[in-house]
Chain A
Amino acid sequence: MTVLAGSGRVWQRNFLVYRRLWHRSIAFGFLQPVLFLTAMGIGVGALMSNQDLAAFGGVPYIDWLGPGLLSAMAMQTATFESTYPIMNKIMWGRNYEAMLSTPLETRNLVIGELFWVAFRIGTLAAVFLVVLAVFGIVRSPFAVLAIPVAMLIGVAFSSCLLAFTATQRNDVGFSALFRFVINPLFLFSGTFFPLSNLPDQVAWIAWLTPLYHGVQLVRGLVLDSLSLAAAPIHLAYLLTMLSVGVFLADRNLRRRMAG
């Protein structure tokens, strides 16, 4: 079967399961960024004087923070979907085993899971964008493009995480991943404060990390401050990450399910 059709089946199965739980996952996948937005945006924002806001390009802190959280939400959701549930399907639920004894191939599994992540993030991002609009943060109609960008962030992360998960036999690796990769990215990628506040050596490390590029794109789109020179670079970074991730995920998963 074609890659598309096969992947569609994988998506379909996830949707069947999700249908029963969607209230819960919308509530929680979405609640965290909204809570962060109100707490940090309003709460910490209240501590900032107008001079302080110069560091944020003159916009209120909550405006600056919003798009950052949207991007972070894409990463968190991708992480959530691409770690435990995937390990479950490989090892305990043995879903992949069952699926692979049909005409489906690992390629389909990977792309199907990515479609799924994109779908979830798309819906969450759309809702979050509405929230941002309600808070008066959205300054440009191009902000709508933040949704596909968020989806891109998500699948870029997801593909790499799938590659990682396929090599894991227990969840010890996940703990390390969350603690030393995801959480630092969340905090240091220009989500909460500009990278210029970091010492130079650390700043350029942050520049290399994926979430930073996603944040720049989303923030630029929502606040109408997108640098047309830098945007292609950010996009290219994410697309590269996605391609490499898909390749590795397919390879690792194939080896894992065969061995």
Chain B
Amino acid sequence: MTTLARTDVPRSSAPGPLATAWSRVWRARRLVERNILVYRHQWIIIVSGAFEPVFYLLGIGLGLGAIIEPFELANGRVVAYAAFVAPALVASAAMNGAVFETIFNVFFKLNYAKTYDGVLATPMGITEIALGELLWALMRSTLYAVVMFLLMLAMGLILSPLGVLMVPAALLVAAAFAAAGLAGTSFLRTVNDFDIPLGLIVMPMFLFSGTFFPIEGVLPDWLVTIITFTPLYHGIGLIRGLSTGIVGLEQLVSLGYLVAFFGVCLWIAMRQMERKLIK
């Protein structure tokens, strides 16, 4: 500590753009470490998040599944109601886990605790912060996705070996919604504003993206068209396709949609965070 000030700092020769990008992604893990440190004693909160989709599966999946006869999907496959609902709940769990984490906690850190200001005085930049929060949300969602996968396995609701891919697919959904949450949180000004994205976007998506019933033929055509442009619909389409073993063009389209959605939201999120944190 008694070192005198040094001025012989080696000048860094500028590293290539790929190396720079990778170093930022790698450094982002520090923010995950920080969140782990904070939640170390509150892990109950994190674990308890896994119960919600489980309850929905047991409740609506089994409860209504006992009443509703197995029915035919649009592509001809016949599924039991529980096997129809379960994969959709995995997608929704990925969505809820990611969105709630980013919207609430990041909002708090951004606007009240000013936590990021301190972090930005170190080599951690906006990129690292955004990616770090994204990674953290992904970690939580992984937990929920794995729990649901194991439950589905135990209940015999996975109808195909492709079902193993459900977990990485759920992570993609989680990443997409985490990025969306990061992007959205920067537009919220006060705590009251939360109602809008949650009540007007997340909740309707949860109910009308084909989670509990197939929307084709039930909802008016114009509404179905609109819904096919929303992210959860594609998340559900992809994951349900994998668990029921029906993988075709539709699933590829959904995959592409989710990747594109993720990219766009991430771009918006970083631009917005920069605007808020760098003046």
Do A24 and B69 touch across chains, with their CB atoms under 8 A apart? Answer: no
| Identity of the chain B residue whose Cβ is nearest the Cβ of A170 in the assembled complex | B42
Do B63 and A197 touch across chains, with their CB atoms under 8 A apart? Answer: yes
With a CB–CB cut-off of 8 A, which chain B residues contact A175?
A: 44-45, 48
Chain B count of residues within 8 A CB distance of the other chain: 35
Do B195 and A28 touch across chains, with their CB atoms under 8 A apart? Answer: yes
Do B48 and A39 touch across chains, with their CB atoms under 8 A apart? Answer: no
With a CB–CB cut-off of 8 A, which chain A residues contact B45?
A: 172, 175-176
Q: Which of B70-90 contact A (CB under 8 A)?
A: 71, 81
Do A193 and B67 touch across chains, with their CB atoms under 8 A apart? Answer: yes
Determine which of B71, B199, B212 lies in contact with A43 in the assembled complex, contact meaning CB atoms within 8 Å.
B212
Binary interface encoding of chain A residues 54-73 relative to chain B, with 1 for a CB under 8 A from any of its CBs, else 0: 01000000000000000000
Does A256 have its Cβ within 8 Å of any Cβ on chain B?
A: no
Do B60 and A52 touch across chains, with their CB atoms under 8 A apart? Answer: no
Spell out B's residues near A (CB within 8 Å).
Answer: 42, 44-45, 48-49, 51-52, 55-56, 58-60, 62-64, 66-69, 71, 81, 192, 195, 199-200, 203-204, 207-208, 212-213, 215, 217-219
Do A40 and B212 touch across chains, with their CB atoms under 8 A apart? Answer: yes
With a CB–CB cut-off of 8 A, which chain B residues contact A187?
A: 55-56, 58-60, 63
Do A43 and B51 touch across chains, with their CB atoms under 8 A apart? Answer: no
Chain A binding surface, main DSSP class = helix
Q: What is the distance, in angstroms, from A186's C-beta to the closest C-beta of chain B?
A: 8
Chain A count of residues within 8 A CB distance of the other chain: 32
With a CB–CB cut-off of 8 A, which chain A residues contact B204?
A: 35
Spell out A's residues near B (CB within 8 Å).
Answer: 21, 24, 27-28, 31-32, 35-36, 39-40, 42-44, 46-49, 52, 55, 172, 175-176, 179-180, 183-184, 187-188, 192-193, 197-198
With a CB–CB cut-off of 8 A, which chain A residues contact B55?
A: 183-184, 187-188
With a CB–CB cut-off of 8 A, which chain B residues contact A198?
A: 63
